[in-house]
Structure 1
Amino acid sequence: MKVTENIWHEYQSRLAAFIRSKVAEDAVDDLLQDVFIKIHLRIDSLKDDTKLESWLYQITRNAITDYYRTRRISEELPEWLEQPQPEEEEIIIKELSACLEPMVKELPDKYRNAIQLSEIDNRTQKEVAELEGISLSGAKSRVQRGRALLKTMLNDCCQFEINHKNQVISYDKKERDCKSC
């Protein structure tokens, strides 16, 4: 109970403002109450305290989605519901970048070098080919295979929620002892 109270004091005004920006004023208090009930009931499911804020916003977004679904205000949900918000997107990028670094180091040399040059050093695939002394199609293949290996490694470690534009809008670690995250 004390944890939920602390969260209420710290986040209620920000979450209320977020809700207010998405729904009619007369629905804000009810939605905020629903959000904090869900937070209270699910606080034990938060596995990583450093992700509290993104977890709170995900619960809030889900409550707003439920609000629109039950009200049937429109045929389609607003597009912003499926997009990460700027502050959340920044948090996700920072957290996943930290996970990717050790994963890149685990890749076989030829894929690690291609990913390092193309994705981290922002070189074109033509430059990758020249620097690695291989054909352009060979460079493209190494970059693609390196990305595929990284995707597999990330999916082994984390569960992702992806929107219709293939953007990560939230994620959770599958296991606490993931080597990379």
Structure 2
Amino acid sequence: MSVADDGKGAPFALTWKTGLVVAAVIIAVQALALHIEGHPAICTCGYVKLWHGVVVSSENSQHISDWYTPSHIIHGFLFYALSRWLFPKRSIWFRLAFVLLIEGGWEILENSPFIINRYREGTISLDYYGDSIINSVSDTLAMMLGFVMARWLPIWLVVAIAIFFEIGTGYMIRDNLTLNVIMLLHPFEAIKQWQSAIPK
């Protein structure tokens, strides 16, 4: 690890204790914003599962992890690279706070009526009404995991894991981070039809 990567003595450097507090506050604000938006704390089914693997289901994006969790780990990979490029002399905790603001902001926006309706109109997610708070927070924690992995693992391994996740989820559920972005920005009917054939 280089001195630049550690960021000791740099302006706006954060200690690990302060960094943890800032991270916790950002995640708490995210959860509060989702609560204000009207999202349930947990699945309205009344229970919490560690894993829910049925994509075409009203319980998708309602539990702790699902087939979209790898996408959020990839977010962490990408955000680590972005934060290191933008803030090479800042501490790792400063960079983590920065990426948490991005991820948390996206989670709030993603669960707004505008984006929810965009998903429902342009994709096969007809039963999607937004994430539960526990799922959204878990997505952010998955991003943090990816961020930590990107910091400590060799670049070739991070790239290999990202490719594996994209190909694996693409094969299993006909969706992944790449397709999700494409269908959100510019839905293609051919992709939508292909995705609609996902095994129930």
- Tell me the TM-score range normalised by the shorter chain: under 0.3
Mark the structure with the bigger radius of gyration.
Answer: 1
Query: Which has more helix, going by share of residues?
Result: 1
TM-score, normalized by length of structure 2? 0.24
